[in-house]
Amino acid sequence: MDKFLQLFVSGVALGGIYALIALGFVVIYKATGTFNFAQGGFVLLGTYLTYQLAVEWEVNFYLSTLIAVLAMAGVAMLIERTVLRRMMDQPAFTIILVTVGILLFLQQLVPIIWDEPGLRFANPWLGEVVDIGGVSISHANIWTVVYAGVVFGAFALFFKFTRTGIGMQAAALDQEAAAAQGISVARSFQVSWAIAGAVGVLAGVMLTARGGDALTPAIGFVALRALPAMILGGLDSPGGAVVGGVIIGVAEVLTAGYLEYEWLGANFSSVVPYLVLIFVLLFRPSGLFGTKEVERV
Amino acid sequence: MSAVLEVDGISLSFGGLRVLNEVSFALEPASLLAIIGPNGAGKTSVFNCINGVYRPFEGSIHLDGEEITGARPASIAERGLARTFQNLALFVNLDVVDNLMLGRHHLMKTGYWAGALWVGRAKREEHVHRARCHELIDLLELGDHVGRPVGLLPYGVQKRIEFGRAVAMEPKVLLLDEPVAGMNVEETEVMAGDITSVREELGMAMIMVEHDMQLVMGLAEQIVCLSFGEVIATGDPATVAADPEVIAAYLGTPEDAV
Amino acid sequence: MTDDLRLLRSAGARIGAALAVAAVVVTPLLISSDFWMSVFIAAGVFALGGLGLNLLTGYTGQASLGQAAFVLIGAYTAAWFGADKGWPMLLWMAAAMLAAGLVGAAIGPFALRFKGNYLVVVSIALVFVTVHVLQNWDSFSGGFNGKSVGGISLSFLVDFGDLSIFGKQFTPEQGLFYLTWIVVGLATLAVANIIRTRPGRALQAIRDRDVAAEVIGIRVARNKVIVFALSGAMAGLAGGLDAARVGFLTPGVAESQLLLSIRYVAVIVVGGVGTVVGAIVGALFLGPLPELVEEFSDKINFTVPLVDQPLLKDSATSEGIMSNAVFSEILFSILLVVFLMFQPRGLVGLWHRMVASLKRRGTPTDDAGPDIEPVATPH
């Protein structure tokens, strides 16, 4: 039972990270209606940036994270402005493929700038463990959950109470109507990309600083595991991203902890997110919380 | 009494909101019936029920004596129903000929194997149907636009191509959803001419939803007037136009009128 | 008036086709180097897989990052039946196509329910699952250790592995070159024919406006399943031929296979999305790029000013800005983005546009010819 609880908490923490990455996917999908594969690149580049500041230049960890968040928000906005803005009237598959190209580009930048196969990047709380009713839970996991909670809370407040947030919701519902109300759709796109860049950094830092994993360029693809979380929760539902993320995270950690059948193969847990995704999609095509796509003719 | 399309008491609702309430009418062979009514009366919903995009929760629809209620759009199309859309729904990267050929999709048989091998039948079929499309292009005077993606053509021309695609399907019944919406007087006349010549040449029955009353009066043999999802009048144009309920629905009751 | 339904309508197209055939016939006669033969075979493999992807993405509008999975499935199936079981060539080819095609069709239930967007993610899932299975199903794939494809039969009517025509003896690589490009030629013909007939038109209708397609009687779901199967089958055959080329298969890791999928996407984008010969053009330019960079890194390399370092890393001293692999990938990414932004119909589209503008200049009163700019599809 203790083992289960321990794994469960660890799974929730991983799920929180997936939810953060998924939030980046969701916010852009909601605003622009497309998958942004470059999200994996934001996660990757943002984490390396934080590493550079915190470890190489020995800046305070939290300050490093903040600087990287701002920088990646800027990078994301720049990409939106220079590439995606020009492609707004292109077919959906073209836009998706462009974001794939950007992901590949960002991913190759990393080995050029950080010329080492794996780097050590640990967060300040690593190694500390707290004992709650016989279950030992690492500080890192607690912090991760708290972090994710704070980010999601801030995100919800932003959408409910700020002018920009409300405008973005309107633009997501009906671009033309929103434009008629004086809401700038272009601005809403920009802000959504900035948010995606920012949460990408937070997620990446949590992901690699969990301990165990070295910081490698592969985390750009690890971020893709948040796609199942996003789809599971419903493409356009930030709340769904949380639930989807937690389901995927818990499923992944529990399989890693319990399922040790040889025929499942080594590292089976890494494909679990995708298997959960396929299974759920067969029965609920719009995810758990997504709006059903209704096409008007 | 052998109506080619019979709509019998269909009702449709969305989340408790009743959009159509026991709508009935019958379309005689080779005739043109117009559905009129104020915005939101449910005209397009009637079309969506007939061609299978929506499924009415009660009532039935018969096409040429065969029940089609609740069947899938593709299968209803195969049984002889075509439609155009209020907002254009053309295949924008293809040219006129290909768009019309797509209208004839269900009349053709070539599958992937035969197509890939370009065997005798596939080739023959392609030639026969292309010839047919060119006759139609001549009839509708669309010849100037062959070879260009239709998405690049003017709006009025696109509307006519969409009409042509529906006609190319050789349906028993053709549904026209606001065929002249957004057109200027000249374009409207061309479209009216197209509809007339298709009826003369091919004699297919049509149902038209349209706000342009002049066009409706000029073309329709029968009019059904809908208001808030209910049929409030049916009959020949003169009768319906004189119906006090229709006038009220259109102009509002005297105290609403400005 | 009936349209000219010939595949090669203009004189230019006929000359082009004749030159292409001539190039395939002549190349092995002029080049005997195993390296160059392998490069051209790899290009053929990319052309074949790209043709399939173009059918799916370019003509049906379904983005996919799953092509590498189909290539892998085809390669291992070919190795299992062709090398382990010793089946004749046509049979292992059929098995590779069938296996990959069936997996493609198994994506079907998703195709029935989702728009293109979801399918991209499902296709990524397919890559991860396929790689995982191949890494672990030792008895079939040899697991992480890999699997030899030695002794696979390349013979039908003639033995391409030991080809000799009019007394001229060809190397096995030259034989495989002929085999690969014959297959590419037949596949191109098949795709071109599908595109100009009823099924191909239906696919393009689905791409442009799927609801309207359904309403005029096109079974959208059914056609999507078929095109996934076809696209998978072509990639599967490509994988089989590639297995024969490399001689030894390893599953690699999912991430590198995703890069391969992206390379397939880059091939059709640079060649020309939604054009029949686009995949071939793209494959010739991009398919074997990493191998070429590896071989010619000394020639490509130069000292980058400002940072004063060589562009490509020296494997011995590890002095330099980027490795050969990174260099190729970054080229792919830049080409992918730039072409999608500025030339979405790829090199083929560029060529058509040049021809059209030349014609216009020649005969000012003549019509402008077909407009090759793609029209944006409302979504």
pLDDT digits (tens, 9 = 90+) for B129-157: 999 999 999 999 999 999 889 999 999 89
Residues of C in contact with A102 (CB under 8 A): 333, 337
CB-based burial label for B230 (10 Å; 0-12, 13-18, 19+): middle
Residue with tokens 């490698």: A216
Give A105's pLDDT tier (boundaries 50, 70, 90): very high
Three-state DSSP class for residue A243: helix
Contact A111 C333 (CB under 8 A): no
Least confident span in A283-297, B167-181, C208-222 = A283-297
Give A281's pLDDT tier (boundaries 50, 70, 90): confident
Residue B32, beta-bridge partner list: B206
Q: What is the distance in angstroms between the Cα of B85 and the nearest Cα belonging to chain A?
A: 7
A297 vs B: CB within 8 A? yes
Residues of C in contact with B134 (CB under 8 A): 1-3
Least confident span in A30-34, A198-202, B176-180, C347-351 = A30-34
Q: Please state, in angstroms and rounded to a whole number, the distance separating the CA atoms of residues C330 and C311.
A: 13
Show me where the domains of chain B are located. 5-91+169-257
**Mean pLDDT for the stretch of residues A194-215:** 82
Q: Does residue A283 register a pLDDT over 50?
A: yes
**Mean pLDDT for the stretch of residues A100-106:** 93
Q: Please state, in angstroms and rounded to a whole number, the distance separating the CA atoms of residues C268 and C191.
A: 14
Give A40's pLDDT tier (boundaries 50, 70, 90): very high
Query: Among partner residues A93, A100, A265, which is closest to C62 by beta-carbon distance?
Result: A93
B53 vs A: CB within 8 A? yes
Q: Please state, in angstroms and rounded to a whole number, the distance separating the CA atoms of residues B62 and C308.
A: 80
CA C10-C16-C20 angle, to 5 degrees, is 150
Average pLDDT, chain C: 87
Query: Among partner residues C201, C209, C215, which is closest to B77 by beta-carbon distance?
Result: C215
Q: Please state, in angstroms and rounded to a whole number, the distance separating the CA atoms of residues B196 and A166.
A: 51
Name the pairing type of β-strands B205-209 and B32-36.
parallel
Which chains have 3 or more CB–CB distances shorter than 8 Å to chain B?
A, C
Q: Does residue B112 register a pLDDT over 90?
A: yes
User: What is the dihedral angle through the alpha carbons of A283, A286, A289, A293, rounded to the nearest 10 degrees?
Assistant: -150
Give A127's pLDDT tier (boundaries 50, 70, 90): low
Give B191's pLDDT tier (boundaries 50, 70, 90): very high
Q: Dmax over Cα atoms in chain A, in whole Å?
A: 60
Three-state DSSP class for residue C158: strand
Residues of A in contact with C265 (CB under 8 A): 97, 100
Residues of B in contact with A297 (CB under 8 A): 48, 53, 85, 87, 89
Which chains have 3 or more CB–CB distances shorter than 8 Å to chain A?
B, C
Three-state DSSP class for residue B257: coil
Q: Please state, in angstroms and rounded to a whole number, the distance separating the CA atoms of residues B61 and B218.
A: 27
Note the pLDDT of residue A124.
67
Segment 115-174 of chain A within 8 Å of chain C by CB? 115
Least confident span in A16-25, A217-226, C33-42, C100-109 = A217-226
How many residue pairs bridge chain A and chain B with CB atoms within 8 Å of each other?
5
Give B241's pLDDT tier (boundaries 50, 70, 90): confident
Q: Does residue B65 register a pLDDT over 70?
A: yes
Contact C97, C75 (CB under 8 A): no
The residue of chain B nearest to residue C212, with distances taken between CA atoms, is B89
Q: φ, ψ for residue A36 (rounded to 5)?
A: -110, 95
**Mean pLDDT for the stretch of residues B190-213:** 91
CB neighbourhood size of B120 (10 A):
9
Note the pLDDT of residue C6.
79
The residue of chain C nearest to residue B166, with distances taken between CA atoms, is C216
pTM of the model: 0.89
Residues of A in contact with B53 (CB under 8 A): 297
Note the pLDDT of residue C16.
87
Query: Among partner residues B122, B148, B169, which is closest to C197 by beta-carbon distance?
Result: B122
Average pLDDT, chain A: 83
Amino acid in position B252: G
Note the pLDDT of residue A68.
95
Superfamily of domain B5-91+169-257: P-loop containing nucleotide triphosphate hydrolases (3.40.50.300)
Three-state DSSP class for residue C171: coil
pLDDT in tens, chain C (379 residues): 456 777 887 888 889 899 999 999 899 889 889 899 999 999 999 999 999 999 999 999 888 999 999 999 999 999 999 999 989 999 999 999 999 999 999 876 666 666 556 788 888 999 999 999 999 988 898 888 889 888 888 878 888 888 888 888 888 889 999 999 999 999 999 999 999 999 999 999 999 988 889 888 898 888 998 999 999 999 999 999 999 999 999 998 888 899 999 999 999 999 999 999 999 999 999 988 888 988 888 888 888 887 778 888 877 777 788 888 889 999 999 999 999 999 988 999 999 888 888 887 765 443 433 444 455 444 4
ipTM of the complex: 0.87
Note the pLDDT of residue B96.
94
* Residue B104 host element (H or E): none
Contact C116 A266 (CB under 8 A): no
Contact B64, B4 (CB under 8 A): yes
Closest alpha carbon to B180 in B151, B144, B211: B211
Note the pLDDT of residue C325.
87
Q: Please state, in angstroms and rounded to a whole number, the distance separating the CA atoms of residues C266 and C339.
A: 9
Contact C193 B78 (CB under 8 A): no
**Mean pLDDT for the stretch of residues B42-70:** 91
Q: Does residue B164 register a pLDDT over 70?
A: yes
Note the pLDDT of residue A292.
55
CB-based burial label for C366 (10 Å; 0-12, 13-18, 19+): exposed
Sign of CA dihedral B146, B151, B153, B157: positive
Q: Does residue B10 register a pLDDT over 90?
A: yes
CB-based burial label for B23 (10 Å; 0-12, 13-18, 19+): buried
Contact C217, B83 (CB under 8 A): no
Residues of B in contact with C198 (CB under 8 A): 101, 105, 108-111, 115, 122, 125-126
Residues of C in contact with B51 (CB under 8 A): 215
Show me where the domains of chain C are located. 23-265
Residues of C in contact with B125 (CB under 8 A): 198
Note the pLDDT of residue B201.
87
Closest alpha carbon to A197 in A296, A93, A67: A67
Contact B148, C371 (CB under 8 A): yes
The residue of chain B nearest to residue A295, with distances taken between CA atoms, is B53
Residue B25, beta-bridge partner list: B7
CB-based burial label for C362 (10 Å; 0-12, 13-18, 19+): exposed
Contact C326 A92 (CB under 8 A): no
The residue of chain A nearest to residue C139, with distances taken between CA atoms, is A263
Q: What six digits make up the tokens of C222?
A: 């059914």
Q: Please state, in angstroms and rounded to a whole number, the distance separating the CA atoms of residues C196 and C199.
A: 8
Q: Does residue B25 register a pLDDT over 60?
A: yes
How many residue pairs bridge chain A and chain C with CB atoms within 8 Å of each other?
145
Segment 143-162 of chain C within 8 Å of chain A by CB? none
Contact C322 A112 (CB under 8 A): yes
Least confident span in B71-85, B242-256, C283-297 = B242-256
Note the pLDDT of residue C113.
62
User: What is the dihedral angle through the alpha carbons of A77, A78, A82, A86, rounded to the nearest 10 degrees?
Assistant: 0
